[in-house]
Structure 1
Amino acid sequence: MRTAVSSSSSSSFSASRLLGWALAALGALAWAWLVFRIHLAGEPLWAVAAGVGGMVTGYIYLSPKTLAARYLFPGVAGMLLFVALPLVLTVRIGFTNYSATHLLSEERARAYLLAQTQVDEAQLQRFTLHVQGVQHRLVLTGPDGMARWQTPLLNLGAAQSVTLEPRAEGDALPSAPLPLRELIAQREGLMALSLQAPGAADVCRYAGVGEFAPLRPLWVAGADGSLTRQADGVQFAVNRDEGFFEHAASGERLSPAFKVDVGWANYSRMLGDPDFRGPFVQIFIWTVVFSALTVLFATALGMTLAVALNWEALAHRTLYRTLLFLPYAVPGFISILVFKGLFNQNFGEINAVLDALFGIRPAWFSDPFLAKVMLLIVNTWLGYPYIMILCTGLLKAIPADLYEASALAGVGPLTNFFKITLPLVIKPLTPLLVSAFAFNFNNFVLIALLTDGRPDYLNTKLPAGTNDILVSYTYRIAFTDAGANFGLAAAISTMIFIIVAAMALINLRLTKAAK
């Protein structure tokens, strides 16, 4: 009986292994097909990367020697794919002129221009489309209004070359021509046709609603990569320094341009171009000041409230804590939009109160200094509950006998705070404050929803706001009204990453020192 059970277990194990290998083979075939499709799409490097990734994955999950790596591999692969790869691509783009103007590679830009055609108006022929059963026939009329050619019966749809048949003057039409709406419905099939008269050199193609004509290429490629315009013979040479096809004498440039490497030009522009450096340096300084003051004000307010709520004689402490925690519980974007309405110069409640008390209505959104004050007020409101909760927990860890000893010595509350509470709280709190500084350094949501960085600086090459921080300034350069300059934005993003990474290292050092 034991032999029978053992045989049954062995056969079950063999079947499961066979099924596993079959699934692995199917997965390998599917992955090989994906790699092949990537290669056909003109991305050989990505195809190689996908192939190597597939082989590594297969080895880890099929080899008995890599059992432990199977648990680590998904996290490591996700980190490489979603963290390291975007970072590498961002750094790479920072060394190019990639922008809304320079989107394509040189090869694709050249292919786009060479694909442009123009209609030969001298040989334009009007046509009518007639239905006969499930098939169609085209009757073409020349510039003189005479219908001299027709096609054989066709099945519209697939691309096909058709030799035209001569048409006698008195031949009757096979049916009434299709009306315009039905003619437009057959547009894709008509665009797939290539019509050629017997003995003619030119091939006519669909040139518009109701028209066929030869399509002449606008450009001809030269052996050196230049493009020559057919109409006037003007040659446009390749400028690989700036990424244009341009005419040297007139300076005329073709669109689209193409992407090229510019080395350290974007970084040099940040530091060397006076027109760019001015607002950039001011934005950088404001970013540091904004982050530092936010942490300072939020810490001061949050710690003060935590100390006050730690007073055991205070009635209803739990209720106060709950109410003071609410700004942190409400989603930030909702609070920001509420404050945007409260600070409205004409209809906001804050200006209504100030007008009633002091007769003033500050221009919070149009005055650069007041806009900065408003941002700090709102960000402090959003950030103090986090500090308050942290300090509340840290205060609970301070031994009560220290305060009892200070009470016997006749020490007052302020001395207790600066001699006992603050030194014992600030050391474990410091790494968290560095993290808060780094978070506010990239606090895009507040800037975008409350002021959008405005009011703007005047007379700048790139739009820049007096209340922009680096991340919102980068966003405006990359995606809004600065011409979508992705290369420059990537360079700024790389610099922001270096700064934040340095803060993270400082944070780790401080955390290690606090142990």
Structure 2
Amino acid sequence: MTTLTMPVPEVGVRRRGWLHLLLAAAGVLALLVSLAVVVMLIAARQHLTAAGVMAVLGAGVLIYIHPRLYAWRYVVPGALAALVFIVVPMGYTVAIGFTNYSSEHLLPFERATEVLLSRTNSDGAGAGFDFRLMKDGARHRIGFTGEDGKHYVSAPFDLGQAQRVPVAESSAEPDDSALPLKSVIALQDALKQVTAVLPDGTELRQSSLRRFVASRPAYTRNADGSLTDNADGVRIEANWAAGYWQRADGQTLAPGFRASVGWNNYVRIFTEQRFLEPFLRVFAWTISFAGLNTLFTFALGVVLAVALNWTALRGRNFYRIMLFLPYAVPAFISIPVFRGLFNENLGEINMVLDQLFGIRPGWFSDATLARSMVLLVNAWLGYPYMMILAMGLIKAIPDELYEASALAGAGPLTNFFRITLPLIARPIAPLLIASFATNFNNLTLIALLTNGAPDYLDTAVPVGATDLLASYTYRIAFQDSGQNYALACAISSIVFLIVATLAVVNLKLFKVGREER
């Protein structure tokens, strides 16, 4: 018996060959980029992070080369995406919440210490030295003349790098082989990197084209790690609880440094009145906002879906398109338009209300009106999503149920509350929870529409009547005078726990609903 085999088209073979070649090239390019990232991390002294990237890179290469790990090739990209875009950012946010990271504590301890040690104290406006830059073969020397008539000269050195050049006292004035002013001007960048050190330790730095100014280090590091203020000899120690170098009299020195504070930020949220009161206000409004918006969008979407499924309605396709448009237009366009419509002075809505009823509501100055405006705008933006979901679920309801209901003499309201709503409520419940979680973190709406306004006047932190937890956290991190990133991260961690709980509940409901079906 002869077996016939279909010939493989040559064009298909060539296409697969090119596809494999492109995938291999993409893999090599990704490998080279990853290695470049590792080199950059090592150069930045992030050795632990570099080791982690190398470990992940090695595991990825092994998975894509070893034939027994073929199935993992489809799992790894998604796992890496979740790790890079979800786990790592959230882990970093939680870690920052246990520190004092803020605009006053930006630097690590070592860098903050270096800043203090690099500071100098001038010996006074008159403590200056005239200098001459002299050529010594391929190298240079600097000669100084103090106001007391003493002369100093340095050993030959190479210009072009940051360096400390010791100088010794000389009995003779610097010779006449000094370079002209034109040459000194050309070497300004190199001269600014030179610190001349007198025999008594006084440091000289260039202050003008012909003059160096005497200065001394403001602080000196001691053997035990503490610092000494050279101006008055006071001992300075690092206060890790406050994140500052601190003098004996309690005075702190800027800049501060990052330090671990444990659960302090979380304790402050729930114990300090200036944080607790606005947090509770914002939390209550966030729950109300998310719940009411979910209810409004669901109710409006279901009602419109039922109306659009009415067979006697003419032009249903046109109405569907028009009612879907609010969802098709990006929020970055829609929300500023609404901001203009609700403008208290020039907005079209107030103009119409003024003509009809003689009123001009303060949409952005009254807390109740501002919240009502936010709910109204978000309901407009969110109902098309619920309408589409409800339309699909209503299509799945057997027509026989409505026919039997009609024979029993039931009306539209009875059909809606006895047939339509009960049958779509269970499958749409997980989506309602997801909508609640989305509204819970709706930073875009608040930032573009009200920016939290109207602000409360009785709080120490910037917060307004329409702020959600997301926008409240943003304002603490970037608009507060202290820019307390650590406290904002602590609040973000709490929000994450709430949303994660909602996600777990969503999955449980979805699982229960699927098992019941």
Q: TM-score range by the shorter chain?
A: 0.7 to 0.9
Q: Which residue number in structure 2 is paired with residue 60 of structure 1?
A: 63
Residues 170 and 461 of structure 1: CA distance in aligned 2, closer, same or farther (over 3 Å)? closer
Q: CA deviation at 1:154?
A: 7.9
Distance 1:111 1:295 in 2: 53
Q: CA deviation at 1:265?
A: 1.4
Q: Deviations over 1:400-442 (max 9, x none)?
A: 1211111111111111111111111221111111111110100
- Contact 1:218–1:230 (Cα < 8 Å) also in 2: yes
Q: CA deviation at 1:205?
A: 4.3
Distance 2:53 2:281 in 1: 44
Q: CA deviation at 1:458?
A: 2.0
Matched, 1:221 2:221: yes
Distance 2:304 2:377 in 1: 17
Matched, 1:470 2:469: yes
Q: Which residue number in structure 2 is paired with residue 142 of structure 1?
A: 146
Q: Which residue number in structure 2 is paired with residue 241 of structure 1?
A: 241
Q: Which residue number in structure 2 is paired with residue 114 of structure 1?
A: 117
Matched, 1:73 2:76: yes
Q: Deviations over 1:458-491 (max 9, x none)?
A: 2323221111100000111112224111111111
Q: CA deviation at 1:29?
A: 13
Distance 1:169 1:136 in 2: 17
Q: Which residue identity lines up with residue 241 of structure 1 in the other structure?
A: A
Distance 1:34 1:472 in 2: 34
Q: CA deviation at 1:39?
A: 4.7
Residues 513 and 130 of structure 1: CA distance in aligned 2, closer, same or farther (over 3 Å)? same
Distance 2:127 2:497 in 1: 63
- Contact 1:470–1:496 (Cα < 8 Å) also in 2: yes
- The answer for unaligned runs of 5 or more in structure 2 is 1-23
Distance 1:405 1:150 in 2: 110
TM-score (norm: length of structure 2)? 0.84
Distance 1:349 1:205 in 2: 68
- Contact 1:162–1:193 (Cα < 8 Å) also in 2: no
Q: Which residue number in structure 1 is paired with residue 190 of structure 2?
A: 189
After superposition, residues 310-349 of structure 1 pair within 5 angstroms as: 310-349=309-348
- Contact 2:202–2:216 (Cα < 8 Å) also in 1: no
Q: Which residue number in structure 1 is paired with residue 457 of structure 2?
A: 458
Q: Deviations over 1:479-514 (max 9, x none)?
A: 222411111111111111111111111111222233
Q: Deviations over 1:123-165 (max 9, x none)?
A: 4223466999999886655336x79667799874234648689
Secondary structure in 1 matching 2:257 = coil
- Contact 2:132–2:142 (Cα < 8 Å) also in 1: yes
Distance 1:42 1:155 in 2: 29
Secondary structure in 1 matching 2:228 = strand
- Contact 2:228–2:235 (Cα < 8 Å) also in 1: yes
Q: Which residue number in structure 2 is paired with residue 491 of structure 1?
A: 490
Q: Deviations over 1:142-198 (max 9, x none)?
A: 336x7966779987423464868979779657664239xx83x6432112334467x
- Contact 2:196–2:204 (Cα < 8 Å) also in 1: yes
Q: Which residue number in structure 1 is paired with residue 251 of structure 2?
A: 252
Secondary structure in 1 matching 2:406 = helix
Q: Which residue identity lines up with residue 104 of structure 1 in the other structure?
A: L
Distance 2:459 2:37 in 1: 47
Q: Which residue identity lines up with residue 216 of structure 1 in the other structure?
A: R
Q: Which residue identity lines up with residue 182 of structure 2 in the other structure?
A: L
Q: Deviations over 1:37-72 (max 9, x none)?
A: 645634343243234334433433444443332332
Distance 2:181 2:493 in 1: 63
Q: Which residue number in structure 2 is paired with residue 178 of structure 1?
A: 182
Q: Which residue identity lines up with residue 382 of structure 1 in the other structure?
A: L
Q: CA deviation at 1:28?
A: 9.5
Distance 1:82 1:435 in 2: 20
Please give the root-mean-square deviation of Cα atoms over the aligned residues, in Å: 3.3
Matched, 1:104 2:107: yes
Secondary structure in 2 matching 1:126 = strand
Distance 1:244 1:149 in 2: 40
Q: Which residue number in structure 2 is paired with residue 125 of structure 1?
A: 129
Q: Which residue identity lines up with residue 98 of structure 1 in the other structure?
A: Y
Bigger drift between 85-94 and 359-368 goes to 85-94
Residues 338 and 147 of structure 1: CA distance in aligned 2, closer, same or farther (over 3 Å)? farther
Q: Which residue number in structure 2 is paired with residue 408 of structure 1?
A: 407
Q: Which residue number in structure 2 is paired with residue 299 of structure 1?
A: 298
Q: Which residue number in structure 2 is paired with residue 85 of structure 1?
A: 88
Q: Which residue number in structure 2 is paired with residue 9 of structure 1?
A: none
Residues 169 and 494 of structure 1: CA distance in aligned 2, closer, same or farther (over 3 Å)? closer
- Contact 1:152–1:165 (Cα < 8 Å) also in 2: no
Identity %: 48
Q: Tell me how many residue pairs correspond in the alignment.
A: 485
- Contact 1:431–1:511 (Cα < 8 Å) also in 2: yes
Q: Which residue number in structure 1 is paired with residue 13 of structure 2?
A: none
Q: CA deviation at 1:374?
A: 0.5
Q: Which residue number in structure 1 is paired with residue 10 of structure 2?
A: none
TM-score (norm: length of structure 1)? 0.85
Q: Which residue identity lines up with residue 60 of structure 1 in the other structure?
A: I
Q: Deviations over 1:80-104 (max 9, x none)?
A: 2221111111111111111111222
Q: Which residue number in structure 2 is paired with residue 3 of structure 1?
A: none
Secondary structure in 2 matching 1:68 = helix
Residues 379 and 224 of structure 1: CA distance in aligned 2, closer, same or farther (over 3 Å)? same
- The answer for unaligned runs of 5 or more in structure 1 is 1-19
Distance 1:59 1:170 in 2: 69
Q: Deviations over 1:270-290 (max 9, x none)?
A: 222223211101100100100
Distance 2:203 2:274 in 1: 54
Q: Which residue identity lines up with residue 347 of structure 1 in the other structure?
A: L
Secondary structure in 2 matching 1:261 = coil
Q: Which residue identity lines up with residue 403 of structure 1 in the other structure?
A: Y
Distance 2:202 2:53 in 1: 43
Q: Which residue number in structure 2 is paired with residue 4 of structure 1?
A: none
Residues 30 and 360 of structure 1: CA distance in aligned 2, closer, same or farther (over 3 Å)? closer
